């Protein structure tokens, strides 16, 4: 055991170039550099899928008064003892209350009041007999079944009590949660601000999506893929287009991204590999404090991470699938963290592989797969097509990313492995 020297090795490792970093360590390092963004108030519908930044306390009971759960008659439960179709109990009907009206009358023994669902239960009554269990006889009602005290009655505060924390801080606000805030009388809610994410593609070969290909030119698809993935993660994408592999252009573009757009995160793609023109890493180092890692994953091995003028920056590889998968492993969790989500990872299921998989090279392999419900009730995972780092179509077809661990060199068909879901399966 030598904790001091161990720590020294770990610390130094982050600055080393071309160092093989395990996926989990790279993720921990990225998450360590980001925090939930400051709170802002917004309207309830705008808060859908965001995370509450402060607890919402109920100022009154929900429901606010005791009311009927059925259309029927408000009665004293004791009056209905022994009632049956053969021996009905006859009660005098002394009034009627619709939903939205106050209960002004009180019932005495032997009396009933017609009551609609949601109407306040009148004083003196402690139960409601459903219409289906009664018959009307002139101004009286025959009850055919006994009711217990509180039967068909919704008590004030049975959902939420006044003073209680109804929506804790850190709640991912799904539709029922925003509905609950409305039930509490809130028209706005405090959430963590949405991160602004600047996206910069790099490469002399890139033309915009409406540009002309050929003569070595390809279209910049990463800007759009990454912007869409940022939006899916809950961030606000700011796609700044492509910049040439020129040191001055790259540095100027980075500075402009920070100064003009005040982003919370910068994503670049391309130029972090070992090619002659892969100078993003040099520009990044010149403009900020950036480490270049070789992450033990496939696809998406090269990754840059650090900060430019205090703004965290993730330098993704250029190959379209590698860029997307690296984003999903590191950018997506970072954005979720900034949004305040307690769980930042992609939703994960377990599936049974249908094909044999080879995984040489001690890297975590994120394999594009389609999922199917098997006859045994288990999910099965089948490769979605060619797995090359540039084959975007198989990522588009995939339901998820099968995670093959670093140390599994050979995965026989029929193995159970985790699958990160790329979208909800309809």
3-state class (DSSP) for residue 59: coil
Considering only CA atoms, which of 159, 173, 202 is closest in space to residue 69? 159
Tokens of 274: 């070992």
- Least CB distance to ligand AMP at residue 288 (A): 19
Q: Which is nearer to ligand AMP, 103 or 206 (CB)?
A: 206
- Phi, psi for residue 18 in degrees, rounded to 5: 55, 30
* Matching residue, tokens 């700044």: 240
- Least CB distance to ligand AMP at residue 305 (A): 15
- Least CB distance to Mg ion at residue 278 (A): 6
Q: Which is nearer to Mg ion, 88 or 270 (CB)?
A: 270
CB contact at 8 A, 369 and 420: no
Question: How remote is the C-alpha of 422 from its chain's centroid?
Answer: 12
222 binds, among Mg ion, ligand AMP, none (CB under 5 to 8 A by kind): ligand AMP
Q: Which is nearer to ligand AMP, 181 or 324 (CB)?
A: 324
- Least CB distance to ligand AMP at residue 396 (A): 14
Angle at 224 between CA 222 and CA 229, to 5 degrees: 90
CB atoms within 10 A of CB 43: 11
Q: Does residue 302 interact with Mg ion by CB under 5 A?
A: no
Tokens of 252: 């100027």
Q: Which of residues 317-346 bind Mg ion (CB under 5 A)?
A: 318
CA–CA separation, 258 vs 340, rounded Å?
Answer: 23
317 binds, among ligand AMP, Mg ion, none (CB under 5 to 8 A by kind): ligand AMP
Tokens of 395: 């990522």
Q: Which residues bind ligand AMP (CB under 6 A)?
A: 201, 203, 205-206, 218, 220-222, 269-271, 273, 275, 278, 317-320
- Least CB distance to ligand AMP at residue 302 (A): 7
206 binds, among ligand AMP, Mg ion, none (CB under 5 to 8 A by kind): ligand AMP
Q: Which of residues 239-278 bind Mg ion (CB under 5 A)?
A: 270-271
- Least CB distance to ligand AMP at residue 264 (A): 22
* Identified binder of Mg ion from the candidate list 122, 203, 234, 333, rule CB under 5 A: 203
Tokens of 240: 């700044």
Strands 206-207 and 218-219: parallel
* Helix residue spans in 14-132 (DSSP H): 23-32
66 binds, among Mg ion, ligand AMP, none (CB under 5 to 8 A by kind): none
- Least CB distance to Mg ion at residue 277 (A): 6
CA–CA separation, 36 vs 315, rounded Å?
Answer: 21
221 binds, among Mg ion, ligand AMP, none (CB under 5 to 8 A by kind): ligand AMP
3-state class (DSSP) for residue 106: strand
Tokens of 290: 């950036």
- Least CB distance to ligand AMP at residue 171 (A): 37
167 binds, among Mg ion, ligand AMP, none (CB under 5 to 8 A by kind): none
Burial (CB count within 10 angstroms: exposed 0-12, middle 13-18, buried 19+), residue 198: buried
CB atoms within 10 A of CB 23: 20
Q: Which is nearer to Mg ion, 280 or 369 (CB)?
A: 280
Q: Which is nearer to ligand AMP, 194 or 223 (CB)?
A: 223
CB closest to ligand AMP, residue no: 318
269 binds, among Mg ion, ligand AMP, none (CB under 5 to 8 A by kind): ligand AMP
Q: Which whole-number Å values give the CA distances from 166 to 105, 188, 234, in the listed order?
A: 33, 15, 24
- The residues of the shown chain that bind Mg ion, judged by CB under 5 A, are 203, 270-271, 318
């Amino acid at each position: 055991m030598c904790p001091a020297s161990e720590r020294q090795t770990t610390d130094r490792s982050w600055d080393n170039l071309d160092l093989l970093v395990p996926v989990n360590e790279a993720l921990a390092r990225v998450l360590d550099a980001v925090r939930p963004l400051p709170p802002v108030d917004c309207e309830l519908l705008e808060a859908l899928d965001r995370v509450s930044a402060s607890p919402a306390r109920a100022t009154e009971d929900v429901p606010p008064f005791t009311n009927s759960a059925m259309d029927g008659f408000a009665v004293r439960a004791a009056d209905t003892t022994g009632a049956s179709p053969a021996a009905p109990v006859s009660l005098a009907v002394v009034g009627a209350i619709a939903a939205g009206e106050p209960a002004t009358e009180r019932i005495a023994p032997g009396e009933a009041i017609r009551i609609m669902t949601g109407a306040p239960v009148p004083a003196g009554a402690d139960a409601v007999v459903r219409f289906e269990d009664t018959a009307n006889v002139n101004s009286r009602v025959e009850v055919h079944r006994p009711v217990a005290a509180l039967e068909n009655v919704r008590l004030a505060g049975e959902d939420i009590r006044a003073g209680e924390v109804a929506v804790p801080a850190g709640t991912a606000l799904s539709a029922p949660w925003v509905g609950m805030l409305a039930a509490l009388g809130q028209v706005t809610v405090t959430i963590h601000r949405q991160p602004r994410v600047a996206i910069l593609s790099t490469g002399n070969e890139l033309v915009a999506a409406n540009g002309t290909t050929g003569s070595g030119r390809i279209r910049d698809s990463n800007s759009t893929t990454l912007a869409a993935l940022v939006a899916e993660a809950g961030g606000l994408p700011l796609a700044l287009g492509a910049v040439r592999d020129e040191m001055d252009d790259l540095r100027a573009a980075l500075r402009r991204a920070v100064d003009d757009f005040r982003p919370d995160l910068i994503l670049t793609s391309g130029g972090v590999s070992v090619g002659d023109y892969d100078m993003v890493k040099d520009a990044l180092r010149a403009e900020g404090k950036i480490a270049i890692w070789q992450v033990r994953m496939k696809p998406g091995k090269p990754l840059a991470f650090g900060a430019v003028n205090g703004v965290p920056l993730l330098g993704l590889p250029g190959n379209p699938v590698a860029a997307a998968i690296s984003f999903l492993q590191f950018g997506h969790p970072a954005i979720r963290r900034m949004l305040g989500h307690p769980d930042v990872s992609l939703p994960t299921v377990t599936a049974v592989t249908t094909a044999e998989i080879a995984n040489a090279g001690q890297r975590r392999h994120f394999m594009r797969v389609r999922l199917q419900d098997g006859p045994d009730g288990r999910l099965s995972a089948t490769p979605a097509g060619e797995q090359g780092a540039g084959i975007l179509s198989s990522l588009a077809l995939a339901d998820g990313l099968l995670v093959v661990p670093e140390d599994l060199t050979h995965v026989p068909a029929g193995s159970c492995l985790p699958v990160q879901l790329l979208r909800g399966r309809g």
